[in-house]
Amino acid sequence: MHKVTLSAEFRATLRERRNGREHVFNTIDPMCTALLVIDMQNAFVAPGAILEVPLARGIVNNINRLATHLRSGGSPVIWIRSTFAKTGPESFSVYFDNFAPGDNGEDIRANLYEGTEGHAFWHELDRHDDDLVIDKSRFSAFVDGTSSLDKKLRDRNIKSLVVTGTLTNICCESTVRDAMMLDYQCIVIEDANAAQTDYEHLAALENIARVFGDVITTDDFLKTLAYG
C-alpha cells in the first residue's frame, strides 16, 4: 500500500478552515452508512493484468477489516465493478476513442466484459453472499443511467459512504466528487485506496479532503470514529 499521507501542514490548513476540526464527520449512524469497494477486480489487481495497480494488492487486508467492522454494525458492504458493453450507450466512446485508443482500448474493454477473468473480483477479498454487487460503466458510480448505486443507497436510507478501492485518483475520486454533490457524507480511507503512484494517490486525497470528504486511515477509522 502507499506509505504517503497528508502532510502536517495540510492537516493544519484543514483544521484552520474547519474551526479546529480535522474531520467533519466525527460520528456515523451504522444503519445509514455503506462501505463502497470500487473496482477491486482482476483487471486492476492481478499481477500482469492490463490495468494492473500493484499497490492495490496491499490494501486488501484493510478493505477486509473494514468490511468485517461495518457489517458488524449493520452497514451494507457494496462491491462496485467496472463492466463495459461492446456497443451502445454504455460503450464510453469518448474515453476509449481518445484516452485509450486503438488496440489498447479494445483490450481494456474486453477485459471488463461480464464473465471474463478480468471482470471477476480479486480472490482474496472477503465477500459475503448477502453483500451487494453494483455494475458501473463510467468512472463514477453515480453517473445517471450507468449504475444503480444511487437508487440502491436511497432505498436503504444511506447517508454516509466509506470509500475504498482503486484507482484513488480516477474511479474513487470521481465517485466521491459526485457523491458529495448528491449530499452523501464521504469518508475516504487513505490506506484502503490505491493509485499507480504516490504522487497521484496523495494529490487525489488532498483534492478530496479540501471539499469533498474526510480522509482517514483504517486504524483511525476503526479506533476513533464513533457510531452516533
The catalytic residues are 39, 136, 171
As separate numbers, helices (DSSP H) first and strands (DSSP E) second, the chain gives 9, 8
Distance CA 104, CA 112 (A): 13
Extract the C-alpha cell encoding 26.
Answer: 466525527
Regarding beta strands 33-38 and 160-166, do their DSSP bridges make them parallel or antiparallel, or are they unpaired? parallel
Task: Give the span between the Cα atoms of 46 and 95, in whole angstroms.
Answer: 23
Residues sharing a CB contact under 8 Å with residue 158, sequence separation 6 or more, in sequence order? 32, 33, 34, 76, 184
